[in-house]
A = this chain, B = another copy of it.
Amino acid sequence: MQNFIYHTPTKVFFGKDTHKNVGEIIRNYGYKKIMMQYGKSSIKKSGLYDEVVKSLRENNIEFVEMGGVEPNPRLSFVYDAIKVAREEKVEFILAVGGGSVIDSCKVTALGVKYDGDVWDFPAKKATPKDALPVGCILTISAAGSEMSQSAVISNTDIKEKRGCGTEFNRCKFAILNPELTYSVSQYQTACGIVDMMTHTMERYFYPVDPTPLTDSISEALLKNIIKSSKVVMTNPSDYEARANLMWASSLCHNDLTGCGRAHALAVHQLEHALSGEHEDVPHGAGLALLYPKWAKYVYKYDIPRFAQFARNVWDVENTDDEKAALEGILKMEEFFKSIGMPCFLSDFDIPDTPSEVYADLCTYSRTRTIPSVIELGYDQIKDIFDMCV
């Protein structure tokens, strides 16, 4: 077990009707003027917008709105939000939405407190030193951004999607009401399921010394996600299954499943190239395509680990390690397919793109490699994308 720091200060308000207390929660922190960011029209259609506004008004919280955050949130939107947040002197940023909205808020919050270009942070030209506080009302179980230190932002001008992790990104609070996810489409629900699973799997497969306790917790999470996924695919309003998925999405990315381990979110980097190049590829769908291909490419370098995964997560009984390992990967791929996820690049409505393009994007033009079960350089990444055709 490696040394680690574990710090998850986000206060979670979990359960039915919890979003109705958002104004009181913010008031208790002492914030009086806030920015609220959200996506397209869905929170207005569902009535969530009205309930949030009502609670804010009842608690005398003044707010400015920035609606229209897009999936794979855009740097250009963040620039606008930073300008407004400064002009309006907001003290706090509230995200009402999923991972994209939360990440947009996180990067805005970093930008408000930074004199330079906020892209300096994902571009690794500068390190955050401060940020406005952020909180969220989560509407989709997926990214885990509600408790994580991650944020991902797309710079569409240069077609780059980059992560920007910092402890300043931890939400002050996260309001998790599973009922708010009832209206998430089957496809988006499936994308979220893949996203949360891979957050734990990326940590699970990073090669380090044994961490049996973290392993068991990870396996417990994955098994529960798989079980609940099957329920919500047929009954999207099953509270218990939606609640399991929502809490699992947070635990899969708040670092609990990384304790004592190292991780690099390798396949996430590959996927960022895909959805960076094709803005409308949902992150989770990209992961569902890439993760099994990556696993097939690397499993032979850590057969015992993939065998453990197969047996403890997918109930594979094969006593031969290599056969079990492969069986587990196939079961994962089948599961992703069963919830409507893509298996090949041709399943997306995107133009043919040479694998070289993705390999170049992933490696920042051959200037980096990505650690995983094996080090992934340009050639390896090209090979994996070739397997997706």
Q: Which residues does A use to contact B, with CB under 8 Å?
A: 1-18, 209-210, 212-213, 216-217, 219-221, 223-224, 227, 239-240, 243-244, 247-248, 251, 256, 259-260
Contacts and interface: CB of A to CB of B under 8 A. Distances in A.
B247 A213 contact: yes
A191 to B, nearest CB: 20
A213 B212 CA distance: 18
Contacts of A220: 213, 216-217, 219-220
Contacts of A18: 3
Most chain B Cβ neighbours within 10 Å, of A7, A10, A227, A248: A7
Contact of A7 (B1, B12, B15, B17): B12
Contacts of A240: 1, 209-210, 212
B260 A243 contact: yes
Given A8-B8, A9-B9, A259-B14, A244 B3 contact: no
16 contacts: A1-B15, A1-B243, A2-B15, A3-B14, A4-B15, A6-B11, A8-B8, A14-B260, A210-B240, A212-B224, A213-B244, A213-B247, A213-B248, A216-B221, A220-B220, A247-B259
A16 B3 CA distance: 7
Most chain B Cβ neighbours within 10 Å, of A5, A18, A239: A5
A126 to B, nearest CB: 21
Most chain B Cβ neighbours within 10 Å, of A239, A240, A256: A240
Nearest to A13: B5
Nearest to A241: B212
Contacts of A247: 1, 213, 259-260
A259 B178 CA distance: 14
Identical subunits present: 2
A3 B316 CA distance: 35
A352 B182 CA distance: 60
Contacts of A224: 212-213, 216
A232 to B, nearest CB: 14
Contacts of A10: 7
Nearest to A244: B213
Nearest to A247: B213
Given A12-B7, A259-B247, A223 B216 contact: yes
A6 B14 CA distance: 8
Given A6-B14, A14-B260, A213-B244, 18 more contacts: A1-B243, A3-B14, A3-B15, A4-B14, A5-B11, A5-B13, A5-B14, A7-B9, A7-B10, A14-B259, A213-B220, A216-B221, A216-B223, A217-B217, A217-B220, A217-B221, A243-B260, A256-B256
Contacts of A216: 220-221, 223-224
Contacts of A12: 4-7
A212 B259 CA distance: 22
A194 B67 CA distance: 52
Contacts of A2: 15
A16 B210 CA distance: 16
A53 B14 CA distance: 42
A243 B224 CA distance: 26
A8 B256 CA distance: 12
A2 B15 CA distance: 7
Q: Which 3 A-B pairs have the closest CB atoms?
A: A3-B15, A216-B220, A6-B12
A224 B17 CA distance: 36
A193 to B, nearest CB: 14
Contacts of A260: 14, 243, 247
A3 B243 CA distance: 10
A4 B16 CA distance: 10
